[in-house]
Amino acid sequence: MSSVEATPAGVTTNIRKTALNAVHRQTGAKMVEFNGWDMPVEYPASLGGGIIAEHMAVRTGVGIFDVSHMGDIRLAGPQALAAVQHISMNDASRLAVRQAQYSALLYPQGTFVDDVIVHRLGTDEYLLVINAGTREKDFSWVRDNTRQFECAVENLSDDFTQIAIQGPKGVNLLQKLTDADLSAVKFYWVTRGTLCGLRDILMGRTGYTAEDGFEIYVPADEATSARVWNEILTAGKEFGVVPCGLGARNTLRLEGKLPLYGHEISDTINVWEAGLDRFCKTEKPEFVGRAALEKSKAAGIRRTLVGLEMTGRGIARDGYKVLDTDDREIGYVTSGSPAPFLKKNIALAYVPPESAAIGSSVKVEIRGQGVGAVVVPTPFYKRPKKTA
């Protein structure tokens, strides 16, 4: 047996560690290199871990993730809104203080620098939460593209340990540890409060799991980070909390069709192709990428992102070819995996618009064989509306 995902021999990288690295290693988490970071991919079964168990914990109870590898950029000053409007595709002028939105930073050609969550923290203060693999690129890009505005741009990426508490019981768990009234915080809003004895901690009702939950930002020193992580696990015992790694994070986001940079979105894929139209406000007077996107909209797109469900026996994986029923190559899989909650083999793929209709039959080439798949509606998974 030999894994195709092993790190190439002889490759030495300056691998980065979050403040919780020692905690993960002590608990016996399986570690992998992800975008230059040494991160847990899954926790041991003795802690309730394993990708499938972790995934199910988030869908049915609560799971916690160390997502400190994510980066943070703060923009503050009298022209902070104008700066954010210029560099992002969603309409930040619609944000009330303490509200957040999904958005993206674009190149002039309408392709992705990165996708981001824009938080409005104050009247003239915004926080962009960005991806790990694009931290440095994003910060330089934001700084270079906001020079004309009266607005300070700060890279706060190393200041926070970011922990995601995700799942239907996430709110109950976190409420035990904070004086902030979390029931008053709607999805994609933030609050501040005392958490585990730490004052003025930012807590956002956001996440990357297609589930309810929170992301908290605590000081990045190792002792504080470890204390908060362990207090969350202790407080979560009654809810069956499970520590979760990047493996479950990926399968959870895939079921919810949440894009991953370098897969569904990249510097060669534009907003229309990725199907992120509803987060792109071309009615805004101006933003980087807008002109190219207007042209692209008029010209029409050559490929579009679809959801596939395997009908034949096999698992589509990232990069596999998509074939038509006559075995002609028509596209490729951006992310593919077994879906632990849905118990199906699913994938996201780029195909031409003429093959994108729901119900279209295609094939995925798996080890030289075309295996049947069908285009299905997305997201694959949508969380049930709360009844309480």
Contacting positions for other proteins (CB under 8 A): 1-5, 30, 41-42, 50-52, 247, 250-251, 313-315, 317, 337-338, 340, 367
Please give the sequence-ordered ranges of beta strands (E in DSSP) within 235-386, or none if there are none. 242-244, 304-310, 321-323, 329-339, 344-351, 361-366, 369-376
User: Minimal distance in Å, beta carbon 264 to other proteins?
Assistant: 18
Yes or no: say if 89 and 279 are a contact pair by the CB < 8 Å rule.
Answer: yes
Q: Which is nearer to other proteins, 249 or 303 (CB)?
A: 249
Strand partners, 365: 370
Q: Which is nearer to other proteins, 56 or 95 (CB)?
A: 56
User: Minimal distance in Å, beta carbon 340 to other proteins?
Assistant: 7
Q: Which is nearer to other proteins, 43 or 189 (CB)?
A: 43
Q: Which is nearer to other proteins, 73 or 252 (CB)?
A: 252
User: Minimal distance in Å, beta carbon 339 to other proteins?
Assistant: 9
User: Minimal distance in Å, beta carbon 138 to other proteins?
Assistant: 27
User: Minimal distance in Å, beta carbon 247 to other proteins?
Assistant: 5
For residue 308, give every residue at least 6 positions away whose Cβ sits within 8 Å of its Cβ, in sequence order, or none: 316, 322, 333, 336, 346, 347, 348, 349, 362, 364, 373, 374, 375, 376
User: Minimal distance in Å, beta carbon 6 to other proteins?
Assistant: 9
How far, in whole angstroms, is CA 362 from its chain's centroid?
28
Q: Which is nearer to other proteins, 52 or 182 (CB)?
A: 52
Whole-angstrom CA distances from 341 to 94, 171, 316 are 35, 21, 17
Whole-angstrom CA distances from 34 to 106, 122, 265 are 23, 33, 17
Q: Which is nearer to other proteins, 213 or 314 (CB)?
A: 314
Yes or no: say if 175 and 122 are a contact pair by the CB < 8 Å rule.
Answer: no
Q: Which is nearer to other proteins, 30 or 192 (CB)?
A: 30
Q: Which is nearer to other proteins, 31 or 142 (CB)?
A: 31
For residue 286, give every residue at least 6 positions away whose Cβ sits within 8 Å of its Cβ, in sequence order, or none: 85, 86
Six-digit token pair at 111?
């392709």
Strand partners, 17: none
User: Minimal distance in Å, beta carbon 254 to other proteins?
Assistant: 11
For residue 284, give every residue at least 6 positions away whose Cβ sits within 8 Å of its Cβ, in sequence order, or none: 85, 91, 93, 290
User: Minimal distance in Å, beta carbon 51 to other proteins?
Assistant: 4
Whole-angstrom CA distances from 79 to 123, 146, 151, 152 are 10, 10, 6, 9
Query: Own/partner pairs for 31-34, CB < 8 Å, 24+ apart?
Result: 32/5, 32/246, 33/7, 34/69, 34/132, 34/133, 34/246
Least Cα distance to 164 among 224, 118, 103, 213 occurs for 213
Q: Which is nearer to other proteins, 267 or 318 (CB)?
A: 318
Sort strands 198-204 and 190-195 into parallel, antiparallel or unpaired.
antiparallel
Q: Which is nearer to other proteins, 50 or 71 (CB)?
A: 50
Whole-angstrom CA distances from 309 to 62, 131, 199, 264, 367 are 27, 28, 47, 17, 18
User: Minimal distance in Å, beta carbon 294 to other proteins?
Assistant: 40
User: Minimal distance in Å, beta carbon 169 to other proteins?
Assistant: 23
